[in-house]
């Protein structure tokens, strides 16, 4: 019996190594993975049976260490995730949800107590695990967690939607939350399948594995869709964020404000290259007259504008696949232009030469500032005789 169980655990080792490798790759990979985590949980029953048979193989030791690694990762709770927990508690959620994490953690702890116990104490630890599992609701905790994440039964709204809204579509925080929920599911399933090993036969255990494998896949698919929709909506959310930030900040220095906005966007949307330009509306009557009504103009895709906040116009453009800018070509066009043409005219000329690029020109009679996170060869910002020009790929 023990040798066949050892073979089962040894066969699962490669799949478990792949799971742990995914944990090391970080939240972005793990949060969007579907159907990858279950091999780790499936090892819970055979490992427990081997422990009860007093088998000490390197595979058993390895699996035990991986279980503890997942538990330790769950113990790391950032300030942002603590804030999310507080926000969830404000929601009108089924009160059973709030004891789920503690119950699952304790069930897992009692399961690990059996694996860690010396042979003479194993029977006592097993009894304590079974009693505690029943007392803390058994499998119900996993069902409550599933319902909360899927928005089924008494929950109405998925916690994923609540969290996405609360973090204002912050992709990285949403990914961290999803990973945390996956880690919690792992611990709960390890405890559940350990309980099956002690109380039920192989057939019932297989049924549980099939049932929860399907449920976890549904949860992971929902997480993946939520993250994808969050990523797809980043331009819309970035505009709201930039507008709010501009309204809150009353910096007198235009360049400092530009840098502040850029720093915010880069931190929250770190997979995007950003270019931020601010144009000041204040200035002498003469300079405003010289600048004219069409004092700036933008062509291309992947940009948005926030108009007249604190007497400032904001133009933000971006790219998720930055390409090098034909700098020499732009400079030749601008030298040929000399002082001819206002901002729209300059953009029209450049646009003909630069397909697939964002082009923005600002009158030299308006105070303007720029900051960007593009690689240097992928961004152009220069002040010419009549306009300042910004160019980057869409």
8/340 Cα distance (integer angstroms): 78
Q: What is the token pair recorded at 276?
A: 């931020």
**Nearest by Cα to 316 from 261, 275, 281, 357:** 275
Q: Label residue 273 by pLDDT band (50, 70, 90).
A: very high
**Beta bridge partner(s), residue 318:** 274
73-82 average pLDDT score:
81
Q: What is the pTM of this model?
A: 0.86
pLDDT at 143: 95
CB 362 within 8 A of CB 368: yes
293-295-299 Cα angle (round to 5): 115
pLDDT digits (tens, 9 = 90+) for 94-123: 667 778 999 999 999 999 999 888 888 989
pLDDT at 68: 87
CB 84 within 8 A of CB 159: no
Of residues 32 and 290, more confidence is placed in 32
pLDDT digits (tens, 9 = 90+) for 127-159: 999 999 999 999 999 999 999 999 887 777 888
pLDDT digits (tens, 9 = 90+) for 163-217: 999 899 999 999 999 999 999 999 999 999 999 999 998 889 899 999 999 999 9
pLDDT over 70 (residue 293):
no
pLDDT at 195: 95
Coil vs helix vs strand at 319: strand
| 261 alpha-carbon distance from chain centroid | 21
pLDDT at 379: 97
Q: How do the domains of the chain map onto residue ranges? A: 2-232, 234-393
Distances in whole angstroms, Cα of residue 388 to Cα of each of 8, 148, 207: 68, 52, 68
pLDDT over 80 (residue 266):
yes
């Amino acid at each position: 019996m023990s040798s066949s169980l050892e073979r089962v655990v040894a066969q699962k080792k490669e799949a478990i190594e792949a799971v742990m490798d995914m944990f090391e790759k970080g939240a972005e990979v793990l949060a969007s993975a579907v159907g990858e985590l279950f091999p780790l949980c499936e090892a819970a029953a055979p490992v427990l049976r081997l422990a009860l048979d007093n088998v000490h193989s390197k595979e058993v030791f390895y699996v035990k260490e991986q279980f503890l690694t997942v538990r330790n990762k769950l113990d790391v709770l950032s300030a942002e995730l603590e804030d999310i927990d507080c926000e969830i508690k404000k929601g009108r959620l089924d009160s059973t949800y709030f004891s789920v994490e503690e119950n699952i953690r304790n069930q897992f702890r009692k399961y690990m107590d059996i694996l860690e116990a010396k042979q003479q104490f194993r029977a006592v630890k097993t009894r304590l695990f079974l009693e505690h599992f029943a007392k803390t609701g058994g499998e119900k905790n996993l069902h409550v967690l599933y319902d909360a994440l899927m928005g089924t039964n008494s929950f109405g709204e998925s916690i994923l939607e609540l969290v996405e809204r609360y973090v204002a579509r912050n992709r990285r925080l949403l990914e961290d939350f999803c990973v945390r929920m996956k880690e919690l599911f792992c611990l709960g399933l390890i405890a559940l399948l350990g309980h099956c090993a002690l109380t039920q036969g192989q057939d019932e255990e297989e049924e549980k594995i099939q049932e929860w494998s399907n449920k976890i896949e549904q949860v992971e698919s929902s997480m993946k869709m939520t993250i994808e929709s969050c990523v797809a909506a980043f331009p819309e959310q970035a505009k709201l964020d930039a507008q709010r930030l501009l309204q809150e900040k009353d910096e007198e220095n235009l360049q400092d404000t530009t840098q502040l906005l850029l720093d915010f966007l880069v931190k929250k949307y770190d997979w995007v290259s950003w270019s931020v330009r601010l144009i000041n509306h204040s200035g002498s009557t003469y300079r405003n007259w010289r600048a004219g009504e069409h004092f700036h103009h933008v062509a291309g895709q992947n940009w948005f504008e926030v108009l007249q906040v604190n007497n400032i116009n904001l133009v933000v453009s971006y790219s998720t696949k930055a390409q090098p800018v034909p700098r020499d070509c732009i400079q030749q066009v601008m030298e040929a232009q000399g002082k001819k043409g206002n901002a729209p005219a300059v953009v029209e000329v450049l646009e003909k030469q630069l397909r697939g690029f964002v082009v923005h020109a600002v009158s030299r009679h308006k105070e303007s500032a720029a900051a960007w996170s593009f690689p240097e060869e992928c961004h152009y910002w220069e002040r010419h005789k009549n306009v300042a020009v910004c160019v980057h790929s869409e």
